């Protein structure tokens, strides 16, 4: 895979988001299967692994730590703080004292003495961003963290944070059907020399054809509460996907590979981190980095599926109120 810059490291362009191995998408796979997938990712050249304290309420970090401890010196490890599970509920808490407890617990679960890139998972709007980032800066001074990142923030918040301590990366949803980053954050990252890490680059499985019937999703699958996966929006979006699949077939690739290539083509500072529970899908995703698609095909994909053509918001209203990302008027 081609290499791209991330927090003073050179890593393969496509990383692995680890969340869905035990969080948010219904019944988790068996631990042995999840560990086998993580090992296979490494064999295929993945070096950038992304987790968070929230995922599985600590369980995902524990899984990643167990699987990757023998390989730790050869990989780039990212995790997040500021949003955790408390008494079985998701809580956003960016107070400095909370963040310090979170990093110490994360290091123990991950079985490492440092995390290469540590994000503030959500900006706690009750706490000045400077206070949260200032606390994280002390983690860097202590050698517990290599570099700092932010997730789901606006360009204005990014600049405020960067003035407190250099921000090496911003992680936000970005794909053909989620273009909010194009409003300001992509350009702000470029100006500051920060990487942009794109989560859900395959639209939570939609762009790869992984969701045929949203009513068939498991009861605890977060997509059930997302407007784009609810009718009648889903049916309208599915019609767009059928056209994308035809375009991809004509180009000699899958719709997921076309979506990833489109994303990589939007800027050299963009690093997608698709997640999956399927080794086959993971192999397909990684192969996307080596494709050479005609610019006209990528342009056609972007013209077909975009913020104007897609139906439904990317999050329910309650979640949209929690994030700081710019939104289209």
pLDDT score recorded for residue 168: 98
- Please work out, in degrees rounded to the nearest 5, the angle formed at the alpha carbon of residue 131 by the alpha carbons of 127 and 137: 140
DSSP three-state, residue 49: strand
Domains of the chain plus CATH, in order, are: 3-322 (3.20.20.100)
Q: H helices within 118-232, ranges in order?
A: 129-141, 155-164, 185-192
Spatial separation of the C-alpha atoms in residues 142 and 289, rounded to whole Å: 36
Predicted local confidence at residue 329, as pLDDT: 75
pLDDT digits (tens, 9 = 90+) for 275-306: 999 999 999 999 999 999 999 999 999 999 99
Q: How far apart are CA 49 and CA 98, in angstroms?
A: 24
Instruction: Please tell me the predicted confidence (pLDDT) of residue 286.
Output: 95
Which tokens is 318 given? 């309650």
pTM of the model: 0.96
pLDDT tops 90 at residue 64: yes
Q: How far apart are CA 67 and CA 155, in angstroms?
A: 35
The CA distances from residue 303 to 170, 257, 262, 306, in Å, are 25, 17, 11, 7
Mean pLDDT to the nearest integer, 183-205: 97
- Categorize the per-residue pLDDT at 174 as very low, low, confident or very high, splitting at 50, 70 and 90: very high
Q: Is the confidence at residue 1, as pLDDT, over 80?
A: no
Rounded to whole angstroms, the Cα distance separating 55 from 140 reads 23
pLDDT given at position 128 = 98
Give whole-number Cα distances, 81 to 151, 227, 304, in Å.
10, 27, 36
Q: How confident is the model at residue 240 (pLDDT cuts 50, 70, 90)?
A: very high
Label residue 15 by pLDDT band (50, 70, 90).
very high
Q: How confident is the model at residue 24 (pLDDT cuts 50, 70, 90)?
A: confident
For 61, half-sphere exposure in the C-beta direction (CA atoms, 13 angstrom radius) is 26
Mean pLDDT of 229-236: 96
The phi, psi pair for 197, rounded to 5°, reads: -100, 120
Q: What does the alpha-carbon distance between residue 225 and residue 221 come to, in Å, rounded to a whole number? A: 8
Cα–Cα separations (whole angstroms), residue 186 to 12, 123, 155, 240, 244: 20, 18, 8, 25, 24
* 187-207 average pLDDT score: 97
66-113 pLDDT tens trace: 999 999 999 999 999 999 988 888 999 999 999 999 999 999 999 999
Q: Point out the residues that are catalytic.
A: 55
pLDDT-based confidence at residue 26 (cuts at 50, 70, 90): confident
What are the beta bridge partners of residue 140? none
Average pLDDT over residues 230-255: 97
Strands 115-120 and 89-92: unpaired
Q: Quick check: helix, strand or coil at residue 183? A: coil
Instruction: Look up residue 32 and give its two tokens.
Output: 């042995």
Q: Quote the mean pLDDT of the chain.
A: 96
Strands, E assignment, the chain:
3-6, 9-12, 16-17, 48-50, 76-81, 83-86, 89-92, 115-120, 145-151, 167-173, 195-199, 270-272
Average pLDDT in the 5-17 region? 97
Please compute the mean of the pLDDT values over residues 118-141 and round it to a whole number. 98
Cis amide bond preceding 188, omega within 30: no
Query: How much of the chain, in percent, has pLDDT values that exceed 90?
Result: 95
Task: Give me the pLDDT at residue 87, please.
Answer: 86
């Amino acid at each position: 895979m081609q290499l791209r810059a991330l927090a003073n490291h050179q890593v393969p362009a496509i990383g692995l988001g680890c969340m869905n191995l035990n969080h948010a998408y219904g019944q988790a796979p068996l631990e042995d299967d999840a560990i086998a997938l993580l090992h296979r990712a490494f064999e295929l050249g993945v070096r950038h692994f992304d987790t968070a304290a929230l995922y599985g309420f600590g369980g995902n970090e524990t899984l990643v730590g167990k699987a990757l401890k023998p390989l730790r010196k050869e990989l780039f490890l990212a995790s997040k703080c500021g949003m955790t599970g408390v008494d079985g509920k998701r809580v956003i808490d960016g107070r400095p004292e909370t963040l310090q407890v979170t990093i110490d617990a994360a290091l123990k679960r991950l079985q490492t003495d440092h995390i290469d890139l540590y994000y503030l998972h959500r900006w706690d709007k009750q706490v000045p961003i400077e206070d949260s980032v200032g606390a994280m800066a002390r983690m860097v001074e202590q050698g517990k963290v290599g570099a700092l990142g932010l997730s789901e923030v606006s360009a204005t918040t990014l600049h405020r944070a960067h003035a407190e301590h250099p921000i090496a990366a911003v992680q936000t949803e970005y794909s053909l059907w989620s273009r909010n980053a194009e409003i300001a954050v992509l350009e702000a990252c470029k100006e500051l020399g920060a990487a942009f890490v794109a989560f859900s680059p395959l639209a939570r499985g939609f762009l790869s054809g992984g969701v045929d019937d949203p009513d068939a999703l498991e009861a605890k699958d977060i997509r059930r509460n997302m407007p784009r996966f609810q009718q009648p929006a889903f049916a309208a979006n599915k019609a767009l996907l059928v056209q994308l699949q035809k375009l991809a077939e004509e180009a000699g690739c899958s719709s997921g590979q076309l979506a990833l290539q489109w994303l990589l083509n939007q800027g050299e500072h963009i690093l997608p981190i698709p997640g999956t529970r399927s080794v086959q899908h993971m192999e397909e995703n990684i192969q996307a980095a080596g494709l050479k698609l005609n610019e006209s095909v990528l342009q056609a994909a972007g013209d077909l599926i975009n913020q104007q053509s897609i139906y439904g918001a990317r999050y329910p209203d309650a979640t949209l109120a929690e994030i700081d990302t710019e939104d289209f008027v």
